[in-house]
Chain A
Amino acid sequence: KAGVTQTPRYLIKTRGQQVTLSCSPISGHRSVSWYQQTPGQGLQFLFEYFSETQRNKGNFPGRFSGRQFSNSRSEMNVSTLELGDSALYLCASSYDRSRGTEAFFGQGTRLTVV
Chain B
Amino acid sequence: QQPVQSPQAVILREGEDAVINCSSSKALYSVHWYRQKHGEAPVFLMILLKGGEQKGHEKISASFNEKKQQSSLYLTASQLSYSGTYFCGTEFGGTSYGKLTFGQGTILTVHP
**0/1 string, B74-91, CB within 8 A of A gives 1:** 000000000000010101
Specify which chain B residues have a CB less than 8 angstroms from the CB of A45 in the assembled complex. Answer: 99-101
Partner-A contacts on B (CB < 8 A)? 2, 29-30, 32, 34, 40-44, 47, 49, 55-56, 87, 89, 91, 95-105
Q: How many contacts between A and B, using CB within 8 angstroms? A: 65
CA separation between A103 and B47, bound complex, in Å? 9
Q: Does A90 contact B (CB under 8 A)?
A: yes
Chain A, interface SS category? strand
Q: Which residues of A contact B (CB under 8 A)?
A: 4, 31, 33, 35, 42-45, 48, 50, 55-56, 58, 90, 92, 97-98, 100-108
B74 → chain A closest CB, angstroms: 19
Contact A42 B102 (CB under 8 A): yes
Given contacts A42-B104, A55-B98, A97-B97, 6 further A-B contacts (CB under 8 A): A33-B99, A90-B41, A98-B97, A102-B56, A105-B34, A105-B42
